[in-house]
């Protein structure tokens, strides 16, 4: 297994990560969000990629998801843990909850969402019934349990276009659709990983109640506070995950 961690908001860097080298990888799809960072965490060698760039300057719709996944594939990555900050829609998904989703719905548009578009290659339809790797999900949940943290097993991630947050009506519709949490970066990332036959799972941290789920509006201050607190838990789970592999 060669593991990559894609860090989202609040996780542009991994504490305790002993970086050995950085590599700027070019792909046929352009440059990834940041140079790939190679190093050790919890005794295991991993590759880290900051999804929004190292200075968090790339909005969700401007991320070159294809370059990110292609770059990881090029350096031999086989397994990807995608860390994501999300809003909570259904009652169990309160801020600070950790979730390992098992389904996803794509509400994004205009993003380069497939590797299969060459005019002279045969059309390929990958199976996407179960969008996340069952094995990687199981191991993430075990790692959380192992360090005394609760992570919800399953849930549907609804991926919106952003960068604006949703209206209350959009969230009500997403809830009727079956979404439990809402984020902006799960797609096309998850589908592209499948196209490249990468084992991929998401470790999501709820950082706010989604629009209309509280009396007020969604504030950045609230999100940032939950990000700071919650990412400590995410780091713990990642470390436990990597220690379990040894």
Give me the least distance between CB of 25 and ligand HPA, in Å please.
27
**Neighbour-count burial of 54, counting CB atoms closer than 10 A to its CB (0-12 exposed, 13-18 middle, 19+ buried):** middle
Looking at beta carbons, which residue is closest to ligand HPA?
A: 87
Positions in 89-148 near ligand HPA (CB under 6 A) = none
Regarding 87 and contact with ligand HPA (CB under 6 A), the answer is yes
Which has the closest alpha carbon to 20: 2, 3, 44? 44
Tell me how far CA of residue 218 lies from CA of 111, 172, 192, in angstroms: 25, 15, 30
**Dihedral angle sign, alpha carbons of residues 212, 214, 217, 221:** negative
From 140, 210, 231, 240, residue interacting with ligand HPA (rule: CB under 6 A): 210
Structure token digits, residue 185? 């970066």
Q: Give the x/- contact pattern for ligand HPA in 212-231, rule: CB under 6 A.
A: ------x-------------
Q: Does 86 bind ligand HPA (CB under 6 A)?
A: yes
* Residue 183 binds ligand HPA (CB under 6 A): yes
Q: Which of 11, 70, 184, 242 binds ligand HPA (CB under 6 A)?
A: 184
- Minimum separation from the CB atom of position 44 to ligand HPA (A): 28
Provide the mask over 162-181, with x wherever binding to ligand HPA is found by CB under 6 A and - wherever it is not.
Answer: ---xx---------------
Q: Which of 157, 160, 226, 233: binder of ligand HPA (CB under 6 A)? A: 160
Among 94, 246, 90, 51, residue whose Cα is nearest residue 175:
90
Q: How far is the CB of 102 from ligand HPA (least distance, A)?
A: 19
Residues pairing with 104 in the sheet? 157
Q: Of 179 and 238, which CB lies nearer to ligand HPA in the complex structure?
A: 179
Alpha-carbon span 113 to 207, nearest angstrom: 26
**Among residues 171, 175, 172, 200, which one has the least CA distance to residue 187?**
200
């Amino acid at each position: 297994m060669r593991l990559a961690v894609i860090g989202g908001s609040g996780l542009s860097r991994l504490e305790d990560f002993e970086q050995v080298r950085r590599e700027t990888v070019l792909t046929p799809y352009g440059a990834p969000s940041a140079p790939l960072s190679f190093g050790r965490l919890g005794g295991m060698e991993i590759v880290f990629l900051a999804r929004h760039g190292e200075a968090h300057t790339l909005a969700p719709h401007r991320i070159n998801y294809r370059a990110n996944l292609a770059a990881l594939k090029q350096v031999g990555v086989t397994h990807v843990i995608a860390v994501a900050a999300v809003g909570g829609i259904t009652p169990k998904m309160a801020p600070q909850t950790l979730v390992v989703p098992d389904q996803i719905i794509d509400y994004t548009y205009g993003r380069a969402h497939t590797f299969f578009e060459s005019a002279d290659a045969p059309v390929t339809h990958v199976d996407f019934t179960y969008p996340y790797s069952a094995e990687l999900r199981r191991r993430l949940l075990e790692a959380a349990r192992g360090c005394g943290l609760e992570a919800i097993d399953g849930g549907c991630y609804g991926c919106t276009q952003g960068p604006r947050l949703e209206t209350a009506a959009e969230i009500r519709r997403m809830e009727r659709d079956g979404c439990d949490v809402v984020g902006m970066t799960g797609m096309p990332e998850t589908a592209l990983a499948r196209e490249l036959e990468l084992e991929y799972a998401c470790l999501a941290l709820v950082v706010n109640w989604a629009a209309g789920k509280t009396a007020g509006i969604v504030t950045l201050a609230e999100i940032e506070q939950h990000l700071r607190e919650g990412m400590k838990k995410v780091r713990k789970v990642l470390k436990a995950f990597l220690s379990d592999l040894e």
